[in-house]
Amino acid sequence: MVSKEFVDKKTEEIKKELLSIERPGMKELVEYMERKGFFTAPASTRFHGCFRGGLLIHSYFLYIQFMKHCQSYKLEFPKESMLICAFGHDLCKAGAYIEAGPGRYKWNNYNGKGHATLSLDRLKKFIELKPEEEAIIKYHMGMYGTTEFGGARGEYSIKELVDAYNNVKLAKLFYFCDDMSTQFLEKE
């Protein structure tokens, strides 16, 4: 399990990184993240990152993987965009869960919007996203976000996903890094 000290240390590091982004609304976005409990929220109710600070740690591992792969493939993508995508892709989960016992969480509420759509809505209240950032966040669930796979919670068709992956190659890489983070990097 990740210690409270580690979560607190990463919280301060990440807040500093986010606040270094010179984009109108960043300060207000970070304040919102604090108010909504982003830095202490779990990443899920029973899967990856189901612990205090799990959402932050998941986003951190995703950011590290995405940055390493971009560097290794010599892909040019601004650091500020990497930070916004990594720490904004699951913003919908801030405030979404409540503790249901030691190390257990349950849904606090569900507003009916899709996972990525709600994250994008929240981000756009504070900052303007670049088209590539928006596509990366929208399609970060890969096939799991499709109407064919996700049913009523699906946010796009497989055709839209394929088109997005063909037009914004970083969207596919981001999905891969997100999945790697949940499957391999967050294990105790």
Q: pLDDT, tens digit, for every residue of 69-105?
A: 999 999 999 999 999 999 999 998 888 876 777 777 6
Please give the Cα distance from 136 to 140 (Å, whole number): 6
**Structure token pair of residue 184:** 């391999």
Domain tally, the chain: 1
CA distances from 161 to 14, 75, 145, 180 (A): 30, 21, 9, 19
- Cα 28 from Cα 110, distance rounded (Å): 24
Given a cut of 80, whether residue 49 has pLDDT beyond it is: no
Q: Work out the angle at residue 39's Cα, subtended by the Cα atoms of residues 174 and 119, and round it to the nearest 5 degrees.
A: 45
Which pLDDT band, with edges at 50, 70 and 90, does 188 fall under? very low
Pairwise CA distance, residues 53 & 33, whole Å: 13
- Residue 140's pLDDT band (cuts 50, 70, 90): very high
Query: pLDDT-based confidence at 180, cuts 50/70/90?
Result: confident
Mean pLDDT on 43-51: 71
When pLDDT is averaged across residues 138-153 and rounded to a whole number, the result is: 85
Q: Where are the alpha helices (DSSP H) in the chain?
A: 4-19, 26-36, 54-72, 79-88, 115-124, 131-138, 147-150, 158-167, 169-180
The domain in which residue 66 lies consists of 4-185
Please give the pLDDT value at position 134: 98
Q: Tokens standing for 67? A: 């940055």
Q: Read off the pTM.
A: 0.92
Residue 151, pLDDT above cutoff 70: no
Residue 62: name the closest of 172, 186, 155 by CA.
186
pLDDT value of residue 114: 75
Top pLDDT among 103 and 178 is at 178
Per-residue pLDDT at 187 exceeds 60: no
